[in-house]
Amino acid sequence: MAGGSPPQSGREGMNASFVNTSLLGVAISLPLIATGATILRWYARRLKNRATTLHADDWMLLITLILCWAHSINTIVAGGIGGINTIKIPPREYATVALRTLWISTLFLVSALYTIKVSILVFYYQLFSVATWFRRAVIGMLVILTLWFVSSIMLALLSTVPFDGAFKDAATAKHRFDFNAWYISYSGLSILFDVIILCFPIPMIKSLKVTTKEKISILGIFWLGGFVCVSAIIRFVFLYNSIYRLTDFGQNQYSSITVAFIWAEVEPNTSVIAACLPTYRPLFKNGVLLPRMVSSMRSALGLPAKQATGSDVTGSNPSEYYQLDKPKRTKKNDALVKEMMNSGTRTTASDIEAHEMIDTSQLGRKWGY
């Protein structure tokens, strides 16, 4: 269905454009929201460590955001050339415009879904870098994703005969393979990788020396990105239906993909937002953002200001809520400390403490990133 409306028939349906007002609204609004989420991420970083240096995951996120904007601009240009809601150029010419737009969209979407996955994995690598096996797992997943991305881009670029047929004259260009079948399989693999990446933090969080309730709380923060998997599945369903179950639009197949195209806009942009959410903790403590908003609302309603207590976040240790910086003594560390004490060399408290700090303490220092 085009934009969620009932199927049209006759000449009106044949003249329907796949770029309608709903798609246009999503293409404009979501990149703006994703941009705002990215700015808040960098602001939270500055609150945390007073630094403005961008790390590898930040750069990959920035590239993803640029690709999201490029995807939206591609949609807006298609609407400007071919028409919004109703096509304004000859059907033959519109077929070339629509197919070229879909092909360019594939390049942007494939690239954006790759870079955002890399950004999240690099963030995990930095956050849980204390575990060697976890670092190796992340690197292995990055290799798999890179091979998947390179092969997908090559297939998209080489999909037509001649090579530039998808851009110059997509309506008459011949495909080297079943492009629709490949795109369906690509979307399915993307969903599988999303689920795997979503499950990556589970072993590390499970090993933390905190209560089960706190583990669930931490895991819930990472799983806020679960909506990305939902949006990917919805896009997959609409894409499949638009390709293999088209019955109402005759030869005008392009207007039937509007809903799938909307979700193609939703998925990468919500991925950017989801990747930013775990970094927002500094915004909700020490009187920043939410506490100030609550205080302002209470003041506007004439309610007395809430008195700070020892259990308030603003009055507690920044990492106390997650209890991630509590050192743990192990047999290996005790042996090292005993060896240091018996060696006859001068041993300071800081030397002993350096041997007693464990993985969760390093995670605690990085939490709130």
Nearest to residue 259, comparing CAs of 286, 283, 241?
A: 241
The burial class, CB within 10 Å (0-12 / 13-18 / 19+), for 301 is: exposed
Could you give the CA distance from residue 291 to residue 282 in angstroms, rounded to a whole number?
A: 11
Give the 3-state secondary structure of residue 174: strand
Q: For residue 45, give the amino acid letter.
A: R
Instruction: Report the alpha-carbon distance of residue 22 to residue 93 in Å, rounded.
Output: 23
Show the tokens assigned to 2. 């085009």
Distance between CA 65 and CA 59 in Å, rounded?
10
Structure tokens at 20: 């309608």
What CATH code is assigned to 10-282? 1.20.1070
86: DSSP letter: B
- Residues 124 and 138 sit within 8 Å (Cβ to Cβ): yes
Q: What are phi and psi of 368, to 5 degrees?
A: 95, -10
| Residue from 40, 108, 95, 96 nearest 69 by CA | 108
| In the chain, domain spans | 10-282, 324-369
The pLDDT tens digits along the chain (369 residues) read 333 444 444 445 568 888 999 999 999 999 999 999 999 988 888 887 766 678 899 999 999 999 999 999 999 999 999 999 888 988 888 888 888 898 999 999 999 999 999 999 999 998 888 889 999 999 999 999 999 999 999 999 988 888 888 888 877 788 888 888 898 899 999 999 999 999 998 888 888 888 888 888 888 878 877 888 888 888 888 887 777 654 443 444 565 678 888 999 999 999 999 889 888 888 877 555 555 555 555 565 556 655 544 434 333 333 333 334 344 445 555 555 455 555 555 545 444 444 444 344 444 444 443
Using DSSP's 3-state secondary structure scheme, residue 175 falls into: strand
SS3 16: strand
| pLDDT for 48 | 72
H-state helical runs in 9-131: 10-14, 21-49, 56-82, 91-127
Tell me the HSE value of 167 on the side-chain side, using a 13 A CA sphere.
8
Q: Which helix (H) or strand (E) holds 161?
A: strand 160-161
User: Residue 284 is which amino acid?
Assistant: F
Q: What is the pLDDT of residue 197?
A: 92
Rounded Cα gap, residues 256 and 63, in angstroms? 30
Work out the burial of residue 292: count CB atoms within 10 Å of its CB; fewer than 13 is exposed, 13-18 middle, 19 or more buried.
Answer: exposed
How many residues would you count in the chain?
A: 369
Beta bridge partners of 16: 86
Q: What is the pLDDT of residues 76-129, one digit of tens each?
A: 999 999 999 888 988 888 888 888 898 999 999 999 999 999 999 999 998 888
Closest to 72 measured CA to CA, from 25, 116, 16:
25
Residue where the block lists tokens 């819930």:
220
Structure tokens at 261: 């195209």
pLDDT of residue 37: 94
